[in-house]
Chains A and B, each alone.
Chain A
Amino acid sequence: MKQATIGKKEIGKLLHAAASTYKVYAPVAEADDVRLVGLEPDMEPTLEYTNFKRSAKELFFPACELICTYENETLTEAPLPDEKFVVFGVRPCDALALALLDKVFGEFGGSRDPYYMKRRENGLVIALACLEPEDTAFCTAAGSGPAGTDGADILVYDVGKELLFEALSEKGEAFLSDYQKFLGKPGAAAKKARDRIVEKAKARAAELDLHGLKQKLERNFDSPLWKEISEICLGCGLCTYQCPTCHCFDITDEVQGRKGRRIRTWDSCQYALFTHHASGHNPRPSKNERMRQRVLHKFLYTVENLGETFCVGCGRCVRNCPVNLDLRETLKSLQGLSAQDKAKDNSGT
């Protein structure tokens, strides 16, 4: 089944039914916030949100993951996650972020992250297209868009009183077939509304111009602009934690006597100690270098290594930065740099 509809009021029924086979993560209103949570029988999913504070990456790449335990001479590897789950309601930007993370945790550099990849195998992603993205979002400029189709198994369109499901993968099709008793065939009006959403998304103007940024970044490593940009940064790392494509991690051992465990946790290039060497030297001693690293990693190095910009324009860093350090403004300033010969650039400017 490729396309199907369901009344908006019935979506709870579908998800609760799915919850008997899968672990279902759905948007639920909590206090003053809407969060993606494991759906319990007494919860009702909601569609009243623009985006979640926390991205879906934590469902595939958890903030803390057990790798192995050991006692005396015996090491026991943690079992690979085997729970089948469904994530409903992520926005296309967050779904694209998963497709980007697939490149890092997939075969990049010849090594494969078994935990992340197993979760991707086990997880079904149902994305919800945006009718009106947040004012801090710049998804179109970053290569995604309100109706982007990357990274998801099913894309859902809000076509008025109904939701229109569109399968993007075999997994998605199989899901729609399994739950066809909740679904109907899309009528002409629904299909038209879906097409309008797609057209509107295509016609959406890029929120900023990122053309040629890569070349400028290549040639301006020593620009004094980095110091200006990072002057108000607090170095808190909030941007990296909320970013759906940031993926740096730390591995630590927690030892008690003759037993211990090894865990992987999120880390952030914005922390001062991130590149602190055992010798005491730190090649990124101040906020300038760390801010520069973050921008170059996302807009230059990943482009060179993986062919992708590691930013989906979700706008979380913009909205939540305590000092309102706006990545969009940063990118605009960087676009003002010259892509000309390095020697010319750094002469006295």
Chain B
Amino acid sequence: MNKNDTHENTADWEPRIVAFLCNWCSYAGADLAGIGRMQYPPSVRVVRVPCSGRINPLYIVKALQEGADGVLVSGCHPGDCHYISGNLVARRKFAMLREFLFYVGIPKERVQFSWVSAAEGPRFAALIRKITEDVRKLGPNTKLAKSSA
């Protein structure tokens, strides 16, 4: 995180979103968006993982604790997983996690999940635009954030 990143809802505040992208589809899709010079907000910090099934719910909650304003997890479309079923197992986990976090008071827009394939550069750019706007409307995340974040 940049030293100048501010956590307060000042005029300078920009959403900081951590995105966990699966290597085979979503990361490649993001790469394609870059190669195609598609514009999207610089709000996303990407973490590449082999498969969306690798995502431990603790990563998501930890990102919020460390000061992320939003978390995105993106994987292959169901049926297209490089490891056959990683995203299918993950799908249930994410559905329950999002519900549970919403239940305790974390707005659904802060934690989002999507399927983006390697060919979907424009879709990835649109996704980032959407989540950035969703998080911008909510303002900085203070709920789970640690004081030293």
Instruction: Give chain B interface residues in 98-149, CB to chain A under 8 Å.
Output: 148-149
Q: Bin chain A's interface residue count.
A: under 10
Residues facing B in A245-291 (CB within 8 A) are: 254, 256, 261
State A318–B1 Cα separation when bound (angstroms).
49
Give every chain B residue within 8 A of A256 (Cβ-Cβ): 66, 148-149
- Assembly CA distance A92 to B66 (angstroms): 43
Task: Identify the closest chain B residue to A256 (Cβ).
Answer: B148
Nearest-CB distance from B148 to chain A (Å)? 6
B-side interface mostly? loop
- Chain B: CB-nearest residue to A255: B148
Residues of A within 8 A of B149 (CB): 256
- How many residues of B are counted as interface, with CB atoms below 8 angstroms from the partner's CB atoms? 3
**In the complex, chain A residues whose CB is within 8 Å of the CB of B66:** 256
- Report the bound CA distance from A69 to B148 in whole Å: 11
**Shortest Cβ distance from B66 into A: residue:** A256
List A contacts of B148 (CB < 8 A): 254, 256, 261
Cα separation A142 to B9 with both chains bound (whole Å): 56
CA distance A261 to B149 in the complex (A): 12
A256 and B148 alpha carbons, distance in the complex (Å): 9
Binary CB contact string for chain B from 22 to 50 against chain A (1 if under 8 A, 0 otherwise): 00000000000000000000000000000
Whole-angstrom distance from the CB of B105 to the nearest CB of chain A? 21
Chain A 190-215 interface 0/1 with B at a Cβ cutoff of 8 Å (1 = within): 00000000000000000000000000
Q: Mark B76-91, 1 if CB is under 8 A from A, else 0.
A: 0000000000000000
Chain B residue nearest to A261 (CB atoms) is: B148
| A261–B148 alpha-carbon span in the complex (Å) | 9
Query: Bound state CA distance, A254 and B148, in angstroms?
Result: 9
The A209-262 residues at the B interface (CB cut-off 8 A) are 254, 256, 261
The complex places the Cα of A256 from the Cα of B149 at a distance, in Å, of 8
In the assembled complex, the CB of B95 is this many whole angstroms from the nearest CB of chain A, namely 31
Closest to A259 in B: B148
| Cα–Cα, bound, A205→B134 (Å) | 69
| A261→B147 CA distance, assembly (Å) | 11
Min CB gap A256→B, angstroms: 7
Query: Whole-angstrom distance from the CB of B146 to the nearest CB of chain A?
Result: 8
**Whole-angstrom CA separation of A261 from B146 in the bound complex:** 13
Q: Write out the residue numbers on chain B whose beta carbons fall within 8 Å of the beta carbon of A261.
A: 148
Contact pattern, B 50-77, Cβ under 8 Å of A = 1, otherwise 0:
0000000000000000100000000000
B42 CB to nearest chain A CB (Å): 20
A254 and B62 CA atoms in complex are apart in Å by 14
Complexed CA–CA distance, A308 and B148 (Å): 40
In the complex, A300→B148 CA distance in Å? 42
Shortest A257–chain B CB gap in Å is 8
Closest to A69 in B: B148
Q: How far is the CB of B2 from chain A (nearest CB, A)?
A: 11
A295 vs chain B, min Cβ distance (A) = 36
Closest residue on chain A to residue B146 by CB atoms: A254
* Measured CA separation A84–B149 after assembly (Å): 30
What CA separation (Å) do A256 and B66 show in the bound complex? 9
**What's the least CB distance linking A340 to chain B, in Å?**
54
- What's the minimum C-beta distance from B46 to chain A, rounded to whole angstroms? 18
Chain A to chain B: the 5 pairs with minimum beta-carbon distance, closest first: A261-B148, A254-B148, A256-B148, A256-B66, A256-B149
5 contacts between A and B (CB under 8 A): A254-B148, A256-B66, A256-B148, A256-B149, A261-B148
